[in-house]
Amino acid sequence: MILSDVNKIRQHNNFDFLRFISALFVIISHSYVLTGNDDKELLMVISRGTYHFSSLGLICFFVISGYLVSQSLFRSSSILNYAWKRFLRIVPGLCGVILFSMFLIGPLFTVLSLPDYFLSLHTWSYLRNMLFVLPLQWDLPGLFIHNSEKSINGSLWTLTLEGRLYILLALLHILFFFRKKIIPAVVFFMLILLSPWFNDLFGSVSVLPFYFSLYFFAGVVATLYKEKLKYNKWIFLAALSIVILRCFTGIVNPLTFIAFPYIILYFAQLPSVLNHFGRYGDFSYGMFLYSFPIQQCIVQLTNGTIPIFWMIFLSMILTLPFAVLSWKWIESRALKAKNLAK
């Protein structure tokens, strides 16, 4: 089966479900980390320290993003139209959670007096996070100072990376990089072959942005070859074997940058009742945005002593209403303006 234009077959794929599950995976990992139990995360223990739930969730997010955003770019009438659609998909929802953090969570949980909180320039400089491609401000004055993690929303760094990838994708398109499909495919394969030596080349620089960028461009390459890319269970099982064997090698296997995207896109095209998962809305972005600050509130209220099961359960239950409201009131309404820029 060929996974083709997703806008035309939205009810015939599982992208909405996969994104939602990915958001839940991120919540699970952060529940462990924020309560000081990150070394006890179930998947990390099972995988011998190779995978976290959040790493799987983010891999899925970046592969799907690369796959769908590149289709949006190639279909757009202009770079301006593409940029406008990316802006509408990311920024309105992001503004919602930034204002929520500043004007609701901040006043309720800061150890400062309200005048001191609102007179602090550091409070108002948090608004710069709306420009999500720029370096982030992580904290707000007097907030979560007794938590193990002081950040108000530690999830936002991935939006910074994603925004920069959107810009890079547009620049490459302007430079006709995608005109011959073989060129991006060759560059991608060269980069994944170099992946085991990243630390040797760049020292102490974090490897995560590079890895997630590779998964993003794996999705882009899959888009370029979507008419030729076939999905069958035998290739899926081979890809799954590569992912599992990675747990026992202790080294980076370049094949995982191909195996994971294949597994994700294989699941995306399977016919099932989950094809209609998003009929009431796409709540995954809201779950991703609001979960971390809500989890920080739970940690502060319980002094970090809440059992991990209840931490995960409450994080999901309390975040979902905000995700629904974000979609209904902000995200879906913003997306109706996507054709204003030609």
For the stretch 58-69, pLDDT in tens is 999 999 999 999
Measured between alpha carbons, how far is 293 from 284 in angstroms, rounded to an integer? Answer: 16
pLDDT at 5 over 60: no
And the tokens for 258? 């191909």
| Contacts of 52 by beta carbon, 8 Å cutoff, 6+ apart | 29, 41, 43, 44
Alpha carbon dihedral 115, 121, 125, 126, in 10-degree steps, equals: -30
And the tokens for 293? 């600050």
Measured between alpha carbons, how far is 277 from 32 in angstroms, rounded to an integer? Answer: 28
Written as one string, the DSSP assignment of 91-152 is HHHHHHHHHHIIIIIHHHH-SS-HHHHHH-HHHHGGGGGGSTTSPPP---TTSSTTSS---S
And the tokens for 214? 């590779």
Answering whether pTM is above 0.85, one says yes
Measured between alpha carbons, how far is 121 from 60 in angstroms, rounded to an integer? Answer: 37
Q: What pLDDT, in 10s, does the model give residues 290-339?
A: 999 999 999 999 998 999 999 999 999 999 999 999 999 999 999 999 88
What's the per-residue H, E or C state across 25-45? HHHHHHHHHHCCCHHHCHHHH
Res 54: pLDDT: 95
pLDDT at 2 over 60: no
Of 159, 161, 139, 158, the residue nearest 149 (C-alpha): 139
Q: Are 283 and 320 in contact (CB under 8 A)?
A: yes
Q: How confident is the model at residue 4 (pLDDT cuts 50, 70, 90)?
A: very low
Q: Which residue has the tokens 């979960």?
A: 291
And the tokens for 155? 């999830």
Amino acid symbol at 288 = F
Gyration radius of the chain's alpha carbons = 20
Q: Are 238 and 256 in contact (CB under 8 A)?
A: no
Q: What pLDDT, in 10s, does the model give residues 88-134?
A: 999 999 999 999 999 999 999 999 999 999 999 999 999 999 998 88
Give me the residue spans of the domains in the chain. 10-335
And the tokens for 182? 């073989």
Q: How confident is the model at residue 253 (pLDDT cuts 50, 70, 90)?
A: confident
Amino acid symbol at 222 = A
pLDDT at 49 over 90: no
Q: Which residue has the tokens 């090698």?
A: 249
Q: Are 183 and 209 in contact (CB under 8 A)?
A: no
Q: Are 281 and 320 in contact (CB under 8 A)?
A: no
Measured between alpha carbons, how far is 39 from 198 in angstroms, rounded to an integer? Answer: 25
pLDDT at 32 over 90: yes
Return the number of other C-beta atoms located less than 10 Å from residue 179's C-beta.
Answer: 9
Strand ranges inside 106-249, DSSP E? none
- Portion of the chain with pLDDT greater than 90, in percent: 78
Measured between alpha carbons, how far is 219 from 238 in angstroms, rounded to an integer? Answer: 19
Return the number of other C-beta atoms located less than 10 Å from residue 310's C-beta.
Answer: 12
Give 98's DSSP letter: H
Of 137, 32, 142, 155, the residue nearest 93 (C-alpha): 155
Q: In which element (H, E) is residue 255 found?
A: none
Q: What pLDDT, in 10s, does the model give residues 255-287?
A: 999 999 999 999 999 988 888 888 889 999 999
Res 11: pLDDT: 57
Average of per-residue pLDDT across 187-203: 86
Of 224, 194, 219, the residue nearest 207 (C-alpha): 194
Q: Are 284 and 22 in contact (CB under 8 A)?
A: yes
